[in-house]
């Protein structure tokens, strides 16, 4: 487990470092204004569908179904053609009606801003079919316990965007957004290329070619497996999409606030996502194929033992990350983004939003871990119900907190929904399983470590950080 986790974490760290370089350049060149908002809006819709269809629901439904399928090759090809065709039609529709798509994402934008954003929305959406193909291929690599290609390939998107920013530097803001949009599509194409090379290197292309060759002959034999996959997929879509709809809701509501709030939410969420991706997502990706196999063979004890080790790992790392990040939020934002067009006031607004997000880091990360149990047992409907409660909580608090707290209120609403989701997931997993996964002494040790770490972080903030920023 830890070898796969290390590979995922290093790959994610590599990508996130490049992502921060990209964000640093974006903040410096575009700042936090209507044009930066337009780019984040343009990339929001394909990114939303990518996380719903490509990364979350598809992987967590396809992998257990593929593991159990009798005709794996034909089943895989059928599922790919079904979903790729749907995504391609969606991409064509967005390019035919880009203004409607832009208005859907940012209802608070006026007609002029929507017209500005529309062509960039159309360009960015070509990323979706590319990244779905990447995710489909990455599922095969996960099945073979090969994680390196997917983990490191994410960095290719950031490299493409960094090059786009460097090429566009010195041009007008509209040109910069155009270069960034083209960079998104080229980054997706580069990710697809390296996954095709990895599939060929591992000999998995033979399985796919066999599926194409025998597709017509054996299509009838996979009807039952396909029907079951479809029944499980749609609850999984809902279960995985609520967090993305929550982010979409934040952007939608933020479009009614002053210019720059969408960008503040984006930059704060980027920092928040680093420990979440580095530890929680990397762990869940490494664990999921193994937990699915153990449960398939009826070995629940081994599955629980793996979750117990991962729980302790995440408890410490996410907990300490949340404490350190909350105490040093403003210093982190200033260090990363405050230069060029990104002002001290922008840093202060972004730091407050980051603190609201970080309060929910631990529950979001642990929920990622425990929801694996439900998906590996193919309990997608239960996961969907939990997600519905979480999304409902988010909507309720977002509407209540947006005007008194602005962007910070939207972030706090997301955090509250994370606590609701974790509580419901733990209840669904059940006390009998949790008693084998969570040990009381682990919580006491974490509490002691957290107090000591908080004292240390406050000392760093009070005594060392003023020296670091002196003269800036």
* Per-residue pLDDT, 190: 94
The 10 Å Cβ neighbour count of residue 145 is 12
For 82-97, give the DSSP string.
HHHHHHHHHHHHHHHS
> 1-15, 225-239, 341-355: which has the minimum mean pLDDT?
1-15
* Per-residue pLDDT, 451: 65
Instruction: Please choose, from the candidates 369, 166, 201, 164, the residue with its C-alpha nearest in 3D space to the C-alpha of residue 285.
Output: 369
What is the reported pTM?
A: 0.67
> 212-226, 240-254, 334-348, 455-469: which has the minimum mean pLDDT?
455-469
Distance, first Cα to last Cα, the chain: 44
Q: 251 near 106, Cβ under 8 Å? A: yes
Better pLDDT: 63 or 198: 198
* Per-residue pLDDT, 159: 92
Better pLDDT: 345 or 55: 345
How far apart are alpha carbons 148 and 62 in whole angstroms? 20
The 10 Å Cβ neighbour count of residue 13 is 16
| CA–centroid distance for 471 within its chain | 37
The 10 Å Cβ neighbour count of residue 110 is 10
How far apart are alpha carbons 337 and 264 in whole angstroms? 11
Q: Residue 189: which pLDDT band, with cuts at 50, 70 and 90? A: very high
Burial, 471: exposed, middle or buried (Cβ in 10 Å; 0-12, 13-18, 19+)?
A: exposed
How far apart are alpha carbons 100 and 214 in whole angstroms? 41
How far apart are alpha carbons 407 and 254 in whole angstroms? 7
How far apart are alpha carbons 425 and 265 in whole angstroms? 27
Better pLDDT: 465 or 49: 49
DSSP state for residue 106 in the 8-state scheme? -
Give CA torsion, residues 326, 332, 338, 343, to 10 deg.
10
How far apart are alpha carbons 274 and 276 in whole angstroms? 5
The 10 Å Cβ neighbour count of residue 432 is 8
* Per-residue pLDDT, 195: 92
> 6-20, 119-133, 416-430, 436-450: which has the minimum mean pLDDT?
436-450
Q: How many domains does the chain have?
A: 1
The pLDDT of residue 425 is above 60: yes
The pLDDT of residue 143 is above 70: yes
How far apart are alpha carbons 389 and 405 in whole angstroms? 23
Averaged confidence pLDDT in the chain = 78
Q: 66 near 143, Cβ under 8 Å? A: yes
**pLDDT tens by residue, 386-417:** 888 888 898 899 888 888 888 888 888 988 99
Q: Residue 53: which pLDDT band, with cuts at 50, 70 and 90? A: low
Better pLDDT: 231 or 99: 99
**pLDDT tens by residue, 335-361:** 887 776 778 888 888 888 998 898 888
Give me the count of residues in the chain.
472
Residue 253 has, within 13 A of its CA and on its CB side, a CA count of 26
Residue 29 tokens read as: 């060149």
* Per-residue pLDDT, 89: 92
Residue 85 tokens read as: 């065709």
The pLDDT of residue 192 is above 90: yes
Residue 64 has, within 13 A of its CA and on its CB side, a CA count of 26
The pLDDT of residue 367 is above 60: yes
Those residues whose C-beta lies under 8 Å from the C-beta of residue 72, and which sit 6 or more positions away, are 66, 207, 211
What range does the domain containing 362 cover?
A: 2-468
* Per-residue pLDDT, 16: 74
* Per-residue pLDDT, 196: 92
The 10 Å Cβ neighbour count of residue 448 is 10
Q: Residue 449: which pLDDT band, with cuts at 50, 70 and 90? A: low
The pLDDT of residue 1 is above 60: no
How far apart are alpha carbons 271 and 199 in whole angstroms? 32
The pLDDT of residue 108 is above 70: no
CA 185-97-156 angle, 5° bins? 10
What's the average model confidence in pLDDT over 178-194?
92
The pLDDT of residue 442 is above 70: no
Burial, 390: exposed, middle or buried (Cβ in 10 Å; 0-12, 13-18, 19+)?
A: buried
The pLDDT of residue 436 is above 80: no
Instruction: Please choose, from the candidates 384, 20, 366, the residue with its C-alpha nearest in 3D space to the C-alpha of residue 235.
Output: 384
> 99-108, 274-283, 423-432, 435-444: which has the minimum mean pLDDT?
435-444
Q: Residue 453: which pLDDT band, with cuts at 50, 70 and 90? A: low
* Per-residue pLDDT, 6: 64
DSSP state for residue 406 in the 8-state scheme? T
**pLDDT tens by residue, 267-308:** 888 888 888 877 877 777 777 767 777 776 667 777 777 777
Cite the DSSP H helix spans in 125-260: 127-143, 148-168, 173-201, 205-213, 215-218, 223-254
Q: 40 near 263, Cβ under 8 Å? A: yes
Give me the helix-helix angle, 300-327 and 329-337, nearest 10°: 80
Angstrom distances, CA of residue 306 to CA of 20, 50, 401, 421: 32, 28, 39, 22
Instruction: Please choose, from the candidates 251, 415, 413, the residue with its C-alpha nearest in 3D space to the C-alpha of residue 325.
Output: 415
Residue 313 tokens read as: 């790992």
Using a pLDDT cut of 90, give the percent of the chain over it: 7
* Per-residue pLDDT, 197: 92
The pLDDT of residue 249 is above 80: no
What's the average model confidence in pLDDT over 192-201?
91
Q: 402 near 318, Cβ under 8 Å? A: no
3 state DSSP class of 436: helix
Better pLDDT: 49 or 463: 49
Largest CA distance in the chain: 73
């Amino acid at each position: 487990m830890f070898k796969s986790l290390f590979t995922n974490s290093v790959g994610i760290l590599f990508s996130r470092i490049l992502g921060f370089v990209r964000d640093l350049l974006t903040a410096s060149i575009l700042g936090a204004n209507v044009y930066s908002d337009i780019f984040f809006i343009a990339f929001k819709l394909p990114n939303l569908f990518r996380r719903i269809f490509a990364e979350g629901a598809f992987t967590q439904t396809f992998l257990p179904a593929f593991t159990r399928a009798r005709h794996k090759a034909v089943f895989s090809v059928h599922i790919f053609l079904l979903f790729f065709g749907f995504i391609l039609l969606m991409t064509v529709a967005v390019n035919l009606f880009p203004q409607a798509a832009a208005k859907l994402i940012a209802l608070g934008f006026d007609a002029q801003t929507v017209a500005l954003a529309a062509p960039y929305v159309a360009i960015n959406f070509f990323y979706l079919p590319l990244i779905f193909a990447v995710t489909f291929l990455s599922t095969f690599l996960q099945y073979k316990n090969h994680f390196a290609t997917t983990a490191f390939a994410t960095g290719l998107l950031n490299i493409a965007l960094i090059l786009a920013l460097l090429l566009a530097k010195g041009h007008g803001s509209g040109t910069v957004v155009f270069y960034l949009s083209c960079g998104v599509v080229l980054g997706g194409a580069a990710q697809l290329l390296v996954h095709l090379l990895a599939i060929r290197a591992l000999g998995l292309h033979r399985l796919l070619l066999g599926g194409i060759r025998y597709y017509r002959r054996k299509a009838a034999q996979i009807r039952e497996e396909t029907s079951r996959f479809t029944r499980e997929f749609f609850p999984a879509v809902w279960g995985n999409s609520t967090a993305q709809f929550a982010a979409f809701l934040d952007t939608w509501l933020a479009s009614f606030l002053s210019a720059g709030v969408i960008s503040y939410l984006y930059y704060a969420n980027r920092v928040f996502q680093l420990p979440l991706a580095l530890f929680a997502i990397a762990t869940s990706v490494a664990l999921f194929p193994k937990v699915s196999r153990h449960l398939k063979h009826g070995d629940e004890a081994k599955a629980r033992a793996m979750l117990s080790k991962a729980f302790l790992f995440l408890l410490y790392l996410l907990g300490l990350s949340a404490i350190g990040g909350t105490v040093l939020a403003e210093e982190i934002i200033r260090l990363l983004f405050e230069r060029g067009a990104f002002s001290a006031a922008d840093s202060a607004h972004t730091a407050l939003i980051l603190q609201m997000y970080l309060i929910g880091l631990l529950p979001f990360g642990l929920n990622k871990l425990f929801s694996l149990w439900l998906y590996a047992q193919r309990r997608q409907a239960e996961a969907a119900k939990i997600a519905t409660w979480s999304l409902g909580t988010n909507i309720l608090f977002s509407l209540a907190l947006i005007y008194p707290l602005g962007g910070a209120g939207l972030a706090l609403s997301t955090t509250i929904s994370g606590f609701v989701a974790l509580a419901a997931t733990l209840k669904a997993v059940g006390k009998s399983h949790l008693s084998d996964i969570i040990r009381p002494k682990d919580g006491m040790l974490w509490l002691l470590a957290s107090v000591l770490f908080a004292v240390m972080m406050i000392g760093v903030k009070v005594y060392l950080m003023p020296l670091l920023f002196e003269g800036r």
